[in-house]
Every structure is written in C-alpha cells, then in structure tokens.
Chain A
C-alpha cells in the first residue's frame, strides 16, 4: 500500500471574494498588470487573478464581501480616498495601486489598532492571520500599548465539545457570523453591543445552548484563534494534509485530513470538493474520533459457538477458519447455502471484491447490500422509467431550481451540507413544497418558509403523487413538447388515461392522505409551472410497501412536466450512507452485476466469466430478507456480513436474531463488536475510512477518492480480507493495490470505463457515466435522451399498505435521523455527538399523549404486533395527531424491535416508515434489560 502519496493538485489561494458569473468582462490595470475579469468582480479578486495578494482579514472567497477590516484599501487613479478593494467592483480602464505610501501607512495604522486589543501570544504555529498580516504590512510597534480599554479578560466559551470561542483573540470581522448565515444558513451567531463593545455572540447564550448546529463553518472562517478546534489546541497545528472523503452520509464531502505526525488533528472541508465546496457538518467535521475509539477491535477473533468466548487469532487462522467453515457448509448443504452482504459504508473496491467473492468463490448470486433496506426502490424505479438506477443531477443543480419538491427527506438533519446549499437557493427566492408527515425544520426556518407543507399520513405517498400528477394532467400543465420528443407515446398515453381517472384526483385522495385537495392542487401547479422544478427525496419515499411505485410516480411527474435533463430539475435521491450509490453500482444486488446489468444477460455473463474465469449463475440469488427467512427455514447456513449491523438496523429484530442464531457460520467484518457480532463465529476487524485506500460514490454519482491517512490498525487492508477468503476457498483472488480493483471495475463496467485512481487524482472527482462518450463524467443525466432511449411512464395505482392503524394499534410510527447521529449510531455514539442526542425519544402530539396520560419525558412502552420497546416521550407539534416518530440511533431504544416484515412489493425494501403501534406510560426501566429481553 502506498501511504500518503497525495496527488499534485492546484492549490487555490483565497481569492478574497466569490467568483462572479457572467459573460461580459472588464479589463483593468492593477499595479501595472492588465487583467480581464467578469463584470462585477471585486478589485481584490481581480488582483488575485493577476497574482497579487492584497492584504485582507475580513474577506474570504467563500463569503460575500463585507468591507469591515479596511486592511485591503487601495488607491484608484482619479478617485478620492482609499476604497476597500473587496467591496469595490472593477470598472473599465480602472488603474489600481494595491500598494502606495498612503495605503501602506493606513494598513499599518489599522493593524496597529487591531493589535492594541489582541493577545500577543495567540499566534502559535501561524494559526492567526492577524499576526501574519502584521508581518506582511511591516508593523513592529504598537504605540497604543495594551493598557487601554480591551477585551483581554473575557472568558472562553468552551461549551461546544469540539471547538472553543476565545473572545480575547476575536477581531470582530464577522466572518463567523457571515459563514453561519451565508454558508450554513442557521443564523445562530450575531454581533452584540456596538462600537468597541461589539462582540461575537451565539445569540446571547453559549454556543452549546444556542441554535448552533456545530457545522464548523465559523471555525473554518475565523482568521484568528478565536474560534479554534479543541483538537488543535490540544495537539498543535497540523503539519501535513491528505485529501479524502467523509464516511458519513451520501453527500460525500471532501475533506483535508490534517495531520501532525501520524495523528489526525482535524478534518477541514475542502473548497475543491464538488459535493460540499468547502462546507461541512458536525459529523464529518468533528465526529471522527470513533476511528480510534478504545472499543475498536483490531485483531481477528473466532469461536466455535456463539456461546463461547471470543478467541483472538492471527489473520491466517481467521481466514482459514472462515474458508473451512464456508466450504464445509457448501459441501453439506449445497452451493446456495451461503452468501454475503456488502456494506454501503465501505469503498467501491471493498464492496466489489466481496460481491466477486460471492459470485466467483461461493459460486452463487447470494449477495445483497444494506441498500436493500434503504434505496433499493430507487434503483428499481429509476431504472424502469429512465433506464438507470441513479439520481439525475449533481448537487450544484439545485442552484438553478425555482421550485423544490421535497418528499420524505429531512436534509437539515440527514444531509446537512446539501441542505445548506438548498437553503441558500431558497433564500434567493426558490419556492419549497414539503411532503412529509412531520413538520421538518425546512418547513419554517430562519429566512425560509415552505410555500406548501403537505403533511400526509404515513403510507400514502403514492396517493399524493398521483393526486399531484392528476392536477398536472387535468389542468393542462403537461409539457407536451417534452413528452412528445423525449418519452414513449404509448406508455405516456396509458399513464395519462390512468392518472386522469377521478379516483386519482386530489379530492378523491383527500381522505387517504389527510391533506386538503386545495393545498395539493396549489402545490402541483407551483411545481408544474416553474421554469425549473426539482424533486429531492429520501427514505420517506423508499421505505414503504409501495416504495418503488412512488419512485416511478415521481419520475412520471418529472417527465410529464419536462423537468428532466438540464440544470435545476430532476429526480434526486438523497442517499443515506456514504456509499449507497457505489455499493449498488458495484453489483451488490443478487440479480445484477456491476453497472446494473441483469445476471440473465448472456453477453454480460460471458464478459464476467471471461474476466473471472468462473461460470456465472444466470438466476438471481437471495435478498437479505430471503436470507433471513431461509436461515430460519434451515436452507441458508452461512453468511458474511461486511460492515452492517443487521441485528439493529433491519426490521423486526426478533425475526432477524432468530435467523442469525440459526446460522452455522456468521462472519462479521466491522470496526466494533456490534449487535450482529453477538451472533457471529468469526469477527474480522475492519478499517476505518482514515485507513482506507479507495473510492466512495455519493448521491450525485460522484466518485470521490478516499485516501489513507494512516496505516490499517488491523494490519490488513479490508479489501485484502475478501481476497484471502476467496483464495482460501480455492478461488485465487488478489491485487497489489486498491487501484487495480478499480481498474478491473472499469474493465467490466461500461459506465466506469473511464475511471481510474490516476484519472480521479487528476480530476478531483468524476461523476459516472465516465467513459469514451463522457470522458470527464456526467454531472446531469438524460440531457438529450434517456439512458433507456425514450422515457417510460408507468401507471402507479395506489395500494394502501396492510400496516393500518386499528383499534389495537391506533397510531402510526415513522422513523428518521437526527443531525448529530448517524444510522445505528455505531460511529456517532462513540463521539462527543452524544452531547446533543444521548437517547432516542418518541415524538408525539399532545392530544395523543394526554389521552394516555403521558407527560413530557415520561417513559413510554411502545408496542406493535411484532414487539415492544421503551423510550421517553417528547411532546411536540411537529407530528400530527395519530402519528408518532422516533430515531433509531441507540440500541437501547431498539426502534426496529417494533418495525414489521412488510416491505416494498418490488424490492423488499422494508416498510420502516409505517408501523401501527400503541403506547402507554411505563415505569422507568433499565433499557438494557428490556433490550436483552427483545
């Protein structure tokens, strides 16, 4: 493995002010150099383009110019005074001097003022731009002294677990306030007091008690040490950086892992990152401490029976043990008796080798991925309608959207960095329609208010999308030109006549959705008549009995209104985990090879047989729920689970644990001894993202490089483990380094044929398809034609779920994610993020609570027809009466103890979002005891 060979990259210095888009240009002369820039560009940026670095403190190119520090003053020929170069736009023929006796004197005078109220010792390791600027302007003596009125006795605010605010070092440049406003869009910070008493304030309270979401934008923006990562204070400034990709959600933010020696000091978001453009959230920015958590397992372990104690063994022994047990099972119960599950948290390369191990070494198609339980309907639905199983846009596209239809997603919690981009667009005036049972933050948040919130009953998405589409068809809002030129005539006609039926009207659907028809009509008109309307959706769409139907329903709606194939439109899944897209792309589904090609396709099978030298099965293998059912039935005996805690994340946990208990051999590869590992015979330690060499593919099909910042703590690359098992089972599999796996992926996958580590290192990132037709990737799909040729409409009859509220279970439970936590919490619970969210709470409407005598904070017993769990009550008006909501980040609460085996008809994606439940007050209980009973 090659450690830390970061590719040569263009280092962007801070240009001072944001780039100005536009065609017309202006030529100016700066310090005698002619430079041509877009009209409206600041003098500061024009100077930077000419290679001249104008001194500055309050300006940075991620924020609008502000003009407060006055260090960037320049002289302009023919104009009086000394205007600030950051706020003064260029004008044709302008002649600017960025240095002159006058401005040099003014700059020194200003820095002298700053330093009269700034601690002299705050510039350790060059962390303070003010001290650097003093050096730049040649200031040596502060004549005012430091005895004057000052802020040097103000207490540090260390309330946030990850960073502190030291007002002593603050120069009140407002970069933090502006970052919070403009970049993050939370508006948690302000300046309090006026004149000399002006101080940065988290709106009058501590950072931790404020609205602050700890995204780190303020820390990133701070030019001094006033806002500083605690890790930097503790460990010192980093000395080298490695560019890599966050391992949390499907946004896939690029980060600079900043190291001091072999120790990670901080993760800072990369401005060059296509997904995040310099922004971050509390998880990616700060919650990486789990990677070195003491509970991490780094040595392989085996045991004969799950009642035995674990025994630490060598890698060789663990591999041999695993191979021997799998081989024996296949000999005894047949080749189909074992299988594997790939992880959406692992790299494309790691996923690819696991599915290859199953198909080539196990000799069957019993491979599935955890995307089964989140976005499998996306794959199915978009493939049916558009021809490929992926979102249509890049994230940047949202900047051109005029109307955003957000369905079953809560981006400010689950995809915070994309949410910030979306909020920026909404603040510019784009309109928002939220379809969600729960009043998510975006319905009303500072400077944003949804035009419509359609709080539908859980389980009625298809009724809603049909009603929306009915309005489009019946009110003459179809984009006939788009449909005629881009879509199938026949399938459109069938869909049109189906959707026009009275039973699909908003009025007819009102009783199902619980949403007034007039609101639905208004929302449909808004979407259909917008110049650019974009759909964004999350698991609130997919995790239903009609998840796939709903995905197709949205695709129909987008096609019918011509909202496909350009910037600002599209159908966009917000992927839950970092590599959901990638794990699906890599051939993790039992019916598909990499690149979404069905196993029954002879040509494709021959391609793989030639490449891999083994015969491939033409029939689909088992899906995850099938595996569990077959395990209980006794026909499925061995399972390899890569980085997924099925015993916590999958529905109806009682059933899952019964299946796991029934297995003869369960192999778990993970960072921690998770819930699933309790049933395992082999534990193979995995590597954290800080140790991985590979790629993640985010929700916009962007393939990002993951680069190791440290050697694997396990002593073995994770992709090597699957290779070793396959080899030990008699199928030699091996690579010298991870890049060779990507080379093989490119060789066998047409949409990846232009991808290689070298190309990625050079381009920064690539969005597939990346091949001869699109050598630099494809930000927007289906531009001139759909991948499948013509767009295919699929009628989407609404079929109510079997999971209905009734007398015994009168409430509907739905689930979601909270900002500070992630999935089952294996990572985030092992960080200080628990300070924000230390337990899962059951949100309920006050009427439902009152009816049952439940008060805020009470322990509540929650039961469905499959199980019972306990958590504490939170009474809120976010959920309507009849609906309760919780998160599933903590094993103690075990939300999935109550979720059922119901699933999407097409893909078996579990119906997590609808469970009929009842609740009652419970005495305070020891959650661990309840958990053990479950």
Chain B
C-alpha cells in the first residue's frame, strides 16, 4: 500500500471536518479510520506517522497518533 495514497486519503477526511473544533475533528477522523479502514492500512499510516514528515496535516496526524495499535 502506498503511504502517499493513505496520507492523501487521511488528509482528505480531516479537511472535510473543517466545521468542527480541532479536538472534535481529531476525534472524528480517528473514529472514521477505525470504523472504515482495514487494520493494515491504519498500521501503515501509524508507522509512517512515527517515522517523520509524511505530509499528514495537523488534524490527521493527531488522529493517527490517537489510534489504538492496530
């Protein structure tokens, strides 16, 4: 799975929560990833997020960091 694509999709989810406060947006993105993404995808994203600048936006990055270990 290309991390670039995962980042793009995660960012897109985050951008679509612009109406929410950052905290709420982070919670919603994390919930969305948990509900709809296969664990392998979340895992790849988590690994990438920990490894440095992935291009994740602020909300998406916080959400990924909040995810339970997949």
Contacts and interface: CB of A to CB of B under 8 A. Distances in A.
A619 B16 contact: no
A420 interface: no
A797 B18 contact: yes
A428 interface: no
A545 to B, nearest CB: 7
A735 interface: no
B39 interface: yes
A908 B9 contact: yes
B5 A620 contact: no
B16 A905 contact: yes
A598 interface: yes
Contact of A626 (B12, B17, B35, B38): B38
A495 B3 CA distance: 34
Interface in A341-382: 365-366
A619 B19 contact: no
B41 interface: yes
A600 B35 contact: yes
Interface string A798-817: 01000000000000000000
B42 to A, nearest CB: 9
A590 B16 contact: no
Contacts of A546: 16
Contacts of A620: 35-39
A905 to B, nearest CB: 4
B70 to A, nearest CB: 8
Nearest to B6: A629
Contacts of A629: 1-2, 5
A621 B37 CA distance: 7
A91 B18 CA distance: 66
Contacts of B5: 629, 901
B24 to A, nearest CB: 10
* Majority secondary structure, A binding face: loop
Contacts of A833: none
Contacts of B35: 591, 598, 600, 620
A905 B19 contact: no
Interface string A490-524: 00000000100000000000000000000000000
Nearest to A546: B16
Contacts of B17: 797
B13 interface: yes
B16 A591 contact: no
Interface residues of A, number: 32
Residue of B17, B19, B39 with most partner-chain A CB within 10 A: B19
A635 B40 contact: yes
A287 B11 CA distance: 45
Given A799-B15, A906-B13, A591 B36 contact: yes
A590 B38 contact: yes
- In this complex, the member of B2, B5, B15, B38 whose beta carbon has the largest number of chain A beta carbons within 10 angstroms is B38
A336 interface: yes
A20 interface: no
A635 B19 contact: no
A797 to B, nearest CB: 4
A626 B9 CA distance: 11
A647 to B, nearest CB: 20
- Looking at B9, B12, B20, B70, the one whose CB has the most chain A CB atoms below 10 A away is B12
A366 B41 CA distance: 13
A545 B37 CA distance: 17
Contacts of B39: 619-620
Contacts of A233: none
Interface in A586-629: 590-591, 598, 600, 619-623, 626, 629
A38 interface: no
Contact of A905 (B9, B40, B70): B9
Contacts of A921: none
Contact of B2 (A591, A619, A633, A905): A633
A795 interface: yes
A630 interface: yes
A549 interface: yes
Contact of A906 (B18, B32, B40, B41): B32
Given A630-B40, A905-B13, A906-B36, A498 B1 contact: no
Interface in B1-55: 1-2, 5, 9, 12-13, 15-20, 32, 35-41
Nearest to A907: B36
A621 B13 contact: no
A336 B36 CA distance: 16
Interface string A629-652: 110110100000000000000000
A907 B32 CA distance: 10
Contact of B38 (A621, A903, A907): A621
Given A901-B5, A906-B36, A626 B41 contact: yes
B38 A799 contact: no
Nearest to B15: A799
B53 to A, nearest CB: 20
A626 B36 contact: no
A877 B15 CA distance: 36
Given A619-B38, A619-B39, A626 B1 contact: yes
A337 to B, nearest CB: 10
Nearest to A798: B18
A680 to B, nearest CB: 23
B32 to A, nearest CB: 7
B60 to A, nearest CB: 11
B38 A545 contact: no
B65 to A, nearest CB: 19
Contacts of A600: 35
B12 A905 contact: yes
8 contacts: A546-B16, A620-B35, A621-B38, A630-B1, A635-B1, A799-B15, A799-B18, A905-B16
Kindly list the 5 A-B residue pairs having the minimum CB-CB distance in the complex, ordered from nearest.
A795-B19, A905-B12, A797-B18, A905-B16, A797-B19
Interface of A: 336, 365-366, 498, 545-546, 549, 590-591, 598, 600, 619-623, 626, 629-630, 632-633, 635, 795-797, 799, 901, 903, 905-908
Given A619-B38, A622-B41, A901-B5, 11 more contacts: A546-B16, A591-B36, A598-B35, A600-B35, A620-B35, A622-B40, A797-B16, A799-B18, A903-B9, A905-B15, A906-B32
